[in-house]
Amino acid sequence: MPKYVYDFTEGNKDLRDLLGGKGANLAEMTNLGLPVPPGFTITAEACRRYLEDGGLPDGLQDEVDAHLAALETGMGKRLGAADDPLLVSVRSGAKYSMPGMMETVLNIGLNDESVQGLAKQAGDERFAWDSFRRLIQMFGKTVLDIDGELFENAIDEAKRSKGVDSDLDLEAADFQRLVDTYKGIVREHTGSDFPSDPRTQMRLAVEAVFSSWDAPRAIIYRRQERIPADLGTAVNIVAMVFGNLGMESGTGVAFTRDPGTGQRGVYGDYLQNAQGEDVVAGIRNTVPLQDLEGIDSESYRELLEIMKTLENHYRDLCDIEFTIERGKLWMLQTRVGKRTAAAAFRIATQLVDQGLIDLDEAVSRVTGDQLAQLMFPRFDVGADLKRIAKGMNASPGAAVGKAVFSSERAKELADQGEAVILVRRETTPDDLVGMIAAQGVLTSRGGKTSHAAVVARGMGKTCVCGAEELEVDGQERRFTGPGGVVVEEGDVLSIDGSTGEVYLGEVPVMASPVVEYFEGTGERGDELVEAVHRIMTHADGRRRLAVRANADNPEDAARARRFGAQGIGLCRTEHMFLGDRRQLVEDLILAGRGEERRAALDALEPLQKSDFVGLLAAMDGLPVTIRLIDPPLHEFLPDLTALSVKVALAGADASPRDRRLLEAVKRLHEENPMLGLRGVRLGLVIPGLFAMQVRAIAEAAAERTAAGGSPRAEIMIPLVSAVQELEGVRDEAERILAEAGVEAEIGTMIEVPRAALTAGQIAEAAAFFSFGTNDLTQMTWGFSRDDVEAAFFSRYLDLGIFGVSPFESIDRSGVGRLMSIAVAEGRATRPGIKLGICGEHGGDPDSVHFCHEIGLDYVSCSPFRVPVARLEAGRAALAEGSTDSR
């Protein structure tokens, strides 16, 4: 039989799997000799047994009894004894903190008898009865599942009948009457009396914590955060200490350094004569932690000493909850504390300088997401800001524009060159046009998985959602905010997607000093920039993955190179067909076969060649992977419906070109263009198209070589599903390259499930694979990003079907499995094959780790994400062999 219960003296911080985060850290502090109230932890293993068997496991009760007895002996009190009762709190504590689970029941052990004993011992009847009513209220709500409002209403009624406004005005007798009322509520809603037996209270509370592991909100949270469903939660039983036993008592929180900036110093808040929940409820104002020195200098000094001990011990910023009971300091909790992105980088390097951690550790302490946050432009917080609301930081960035309240208006103004912010109560798929047209999106309803949030993140568009203080009136085209502020259509707004802040008027946007550093234009010397520099340099030295960029023009390529890209992993040649070249592409499509088509291709070739010359120059000496044209041709033509309406309305006056275009649009129309005539299929069906592109590449490379450059072009064939397709195209390309005397590797995208499944065959004809995970995700899941992201992703996230959109982060079980198959079987056929990824996942931290794990050679992402990928590649290399890769 496993050991189910650990005294705080028995555990340590590395036993989080067993004792949960809270229990493990309480044990760690106990063993450090810090003043932790005595107690013990029931393991997560006991919870798992309970959930499987539907009852407490054999032997658990005996162990609990034994530990409780020891606790009673140590404290010199008995649980719920009438004269001088020991009270305990029951607190959940899973490995990862998790909303939706039951958290805490305080004051376990009180009943009609022991409440008298508590009053006597504390010398405070009001305190004792208030504690008792709190127990029944908390227990009723969380253990017995009674609607909490019933208890709140009873308090309100008590205040009303007494004619007072505040709880503070209620006296002992009032609370005593409330206890009776509360007991009635419990009886009415459960059919039983509130359990007066202290051990029964404790047992029921423990079972309630166990059961809350499977509460619906907890399940959905776990799905979203990808926390395994079978971990279970531990439960901590802790002797109660009271910060509300007079002005010599109090409670507070502290940080070992500033979580906002990383500065060392004394940060925290303190509240005299209060319990933790009162701080949260905001009944009175807290004072800065420094003020504790004047209130209780001994406890203050002791606390500072403890904070130093903890930071040296945990080698990181810690946050702390503590209580002072009549001059005696107690530590109730500690953990490695959350911090801002800037603080994370600063703290990591400060700890290196202090000799507490090494640079490897520093790299693993910061994340790509934090680096990305530092790279977004930000509002100048020094400016004269008029903040009018705060919502959720749904999609980062800083956006400024005129408020508009409908998609139509957003499009209209955007078409006139105006920057707009789309403001909606909530968005629907109908708002897509407006979201595309706007600089940013602001909603008053919905959380981080709402339609607006999901779609905006997908677009990389700034979004603040769920700003509930705002009343949005779409009909009247305005919203009202706190303090009666009214914003009409056309008024300028500034929204900060990284913080959720909404400002009235135009807030100046500041470039990120970290971006200036990467660009080489910023000043060095700033502590943050130095920290980023040291960490990035070290990550580069550790990583095994190369990082390339997706870029289609020399400017992007040059920027990517400044950002550290080691080549181009994806140049989309069709992007070179847009703008003023669209006419040439139309000519190509309208051309018949033979001579006419050849002429159209000939007109495009020199333009393509000059594109490639520029790109190869910008990446001279580094590989440049050029993908031949991928999208269906009709993407270069007008929309079928719009053109049909135009021609129908014009009737006999329709222009010949429009008529001819309409015929072509109809001929090329596809029901499912994503699954249509594109990629290698186009190359095989339209003779000369790929050949023109390959010739342009070959001639560009030859020109660069003649100019003394070192061009390293690679030719990539898209949408291959069978090796036979690749063979046909490759043979022709090799012929053209040989004619031009140019060498270039020829490889393929792996973006169709069948390509991954037959990668062993395809590798015979491919010098490299590049995973196109956008298409691969679409086909593996059978949904097109455009169509479904707006239509049902937010619902799927709400239902917990996705933890995260598979377009944001690689779906390891499905798409990832195909990638693993392709890597293994591609390498089996051609051991030296070069393997990379050029889907948008190439810049996603979790996906970069996955690419490292399956052994790719490089990732390629947008230029702006290159530093993120470099950092995460370094972190992935350092995480290798670590058991906990989350």
| 757 lies in the site for a second copy, by CB under 8 A | yes
From 108-116, 467-475, 557-565, 675-683, give the range in contact with a second copy by CB under 8 A: 675-683
Closer by beta carbon to a second copy, 115 or else 682:
682
Number of H helices, E strands in the chain: 35, 33
Rg (CA), the chain: 33
Footprint of a second copy on residues 95-124 (CB under 8 A)? none
Closer by beta carbon to a second copy, 58 or else 787:
787
| 660 lies in the site for a second copy, by CB under 8 A | no
- Give the Å distances, CA to CA, from 148 to 201, 246, 275: 18, 28, 20
Annotate each residue in 492-511 with x if it binds a second copy (CB under 8 A) or - if it does not, as one string. Answer: --------------------
Minimum distance from residue 684 beta carbon to a second copy (Å): 7
Q: Beta partners for 510?
A: 378
Closer by beta carbon to a second copy, 87 or else 633:
633
- In this structure, which long-range contacts are made by residues 684-692, counting pairs with CB atoms below 8 Å and at least 24 apart in sequence? 684/725, 684/728, 684/729, 686/597, 688/597, 688/598, 688/601, 689/601, 689/629, 690/628, 690/629, 690/729, 690/732, 690/733, 691/732, 691/733, 691/736, 692/601, 692/602, 692/604, 692/605, 692/608
Minimum distance from residue 674 beta carbon to a second copy (Å): 4
Cβ 549 vs Cβ 863: under 8 Å: yes
Rounded Cα gap, residues 765 and 329, in angstroms: 72
| Other Cβ atoms within 10 Å of 239 Cβ, number | 20
Q: Residue type for 782, please? A: G
Minimum distance from residue 749 beta carbon to a second copy (Å): 11
| 470 lies in the site for a second copy, by CB under 8 A | no
| 3 lies in the site for a second copy, by CB under 8 A | no
Binding residues for a second copy, rule CB under 8 A, total: 59
Catalytic hit among 47, 67, 318, 451: 451
From 17-25, 129-137, 162-170, 756-764, give the range in contact with a second copy by CB under 8 A: 756-764
Footprint of a second copy on residues 815-844 (CB under 8 A)? 815, 817-818
Q: Beta partners for 411?
A: none
Cβ 450 vs Cβ 473: under 8 Å: no
Minimum distance from residue 584 beta carbon to a second copy (Å): 23
Minimum distance from residue 845 beta carbon to a second copy (Å): 22
Q: Which ranges of 357-450 does DSSP label H, i.e. alpha helix?
A: 359-365, 368-375, 407-415, 432-437
Closer by beta carbon to a second copy, 539 or else 682:
682
Active-site residue flag, 451:
yes
Closer by beta carbon to a second copy, 263 or else 820:
820
| 724 lies in the site for a second copy, by CB under 8 A | yes
Structure-block tokens of residue 867: 């530093």
Q: Which of 278, 791, 827, 829 binds a second copy (CB under 8 A)?
A: 791
| 238 lies in the site for a second copy, by CB under 8 A | no
Structure-block tokens of residue 420: 């707009």
Rounded Cα gap, residues 842 and 866, in angstroms: 9
Minimum distance from residue 672 beta carbon to a second copy (Å): 4
| 490 lies in the site for a second copy, by CB under 8 A | no
Rounded Cα gap, residues 276 and 863, in angstroms: 47
- With a CB cutoff of 8 Å and minimum separation 6, the contacts of 414 are 420, 437, 438
| 766 lies in the site for a second copy, by CB under 8 A | no
| 753 lies in the site for a second copy, by CB under 8 A | yes
Rounded Cα gap, residues 827 and 834, in angstroms: 9
Closer by beta carbon to a second copy, 406 or else 498:
406
Minimum distance from residue 715 beta carbon to a second copy (Å): 20
- 3-state SS class at 2: coil
Q: Which of 199, 223, 387, 445 binds a second copy (CB under 8 A)?
A: 223
Rounded Cα gap, residues 50 and 763, in angstroms: 51
| 459 lies in the site for a second copy, by CB under 8 A | no
Closer by beta carbon to a second copy, 62 or else 786:
786
Across 806-822, b (16+ Cβ under 10 Å) vs e yields bbbbbbbeebbebbbbb
Minimum distance from residue 811 beta carbon to a second copy (Å): 7
Rounded Cα gap, residues 680 and 678, in angstroms: 6
Residue in the structure block whose two tokens are 């269906």: 632
| 216 lies in the site for a second copy, by CB under 8 A | no
Q: How far is CA 623 from the centre of its chain?
A: 32
Nearest to 875 by CA among 626, 544, 649: 544
Minimum distance from residue 656 beta carbon to a second copy (Å): 19
Q: Which of 645, 738, 824, 828 binds a second copy (CB under 8 A)?
A: 645
Q: Is 104 exposed, middle or buried (0-12, 13-18, 19+ CB in 10 A)?
A: middle
Structure-block tokens of residue 424: 């909606």
Across 631-666, b (16+ Cβ under 10 Å) vs e yields bbbbebbbeeeebeebbeeeeeeeeeeeeebbebbe
| 671 lies in the site for a second copy, by CB under 8 A | yes
| 673 lies in the site for a second copy, by CB under 8 A | yes
Closer by beta carbon to a second copy, 256 or else 847:
847
Closer by beta carbon to a second copy, 58 or else 663:
663
| 674 lies in the site for a second copy, by CB under 8 A | yes
Q: Which of 166, 416, 475, 813 binds a second copy (CB under 8 A)?
A: 813
| 751 lies in the site for a second copy, by CB under 8 A | yes
Rounded Cα gap, residues 848 and 865, in angstroms: 11
Catalytic hit among 838, 849, 852, 861: 838
Closer by beta carbon to a second copy, 121 or else 761:
761
From 700-708, 721-729, 826-834, 865-873, give the range in contact with a second copy by CB under 8 A: 721-729
Minimum distance from residue 718 beta carbon to a second copy (Å): 10
| 159 lies in the site for a second copy, by CB under 8 A | no
| 280 lies in the site for a second copy, by CB under 8 A | no
| 640 lies in the site for a second copy, by CB under 8 A | yes
Minimum distance from residue 439 beta carbon to a second copy (Å): 25
Q: Which of 285, 475, 641, 883 binds a second copy (CB under 8 A)?
A: 641
Minimum distance from residue 411 beta carbon to a second copy (Å): 14
Minimum distance from residue 764 beta carbon to a second copy (Å): 12
Footprint of a second copy on residues 771-790 (CB under 8 A)? 775, 778-784, 786-788
Closer by beta carbon to a second copy, 210 or else 783:
783
Footprint of a second copy on residues 410-449 (CB under 8 A)? 429-430
Cβ 518 vs Cβ 563: under 8 Å: yes
From 111-119, 282-290, 321-329, 808-816, give the range in contact with a second copy by CB under 8 A: 808-816
| 650 lies in the site for a second copy, by CB under 8 A | no
Q: Which H, E and C letters describe 268-323, residue by residue?
A: EEEEECCCHHHHHHCCCCCEEHHHHHHHCHHHHHHHHHHHHHHHHHHCCCEEEEEE
Rounded Cα gap, residues 795 and 882, in angstroms: 35
| 591 lies in the site for a second copy, by CB under 8 A | no
Binding site for a second copy (CB under 8 A): 223, 429-430, 640-641, 644-645, 648-649, 667, 670-677, 681, 684-685, 719, 721-722, 724-725, 728, 751-754, 757-758, 761, 775, 778-784, 786-788, 791-792, 795-796, 799-802, 811, 813-815, 817-818
- Residues classed as catalytic: 451, 838
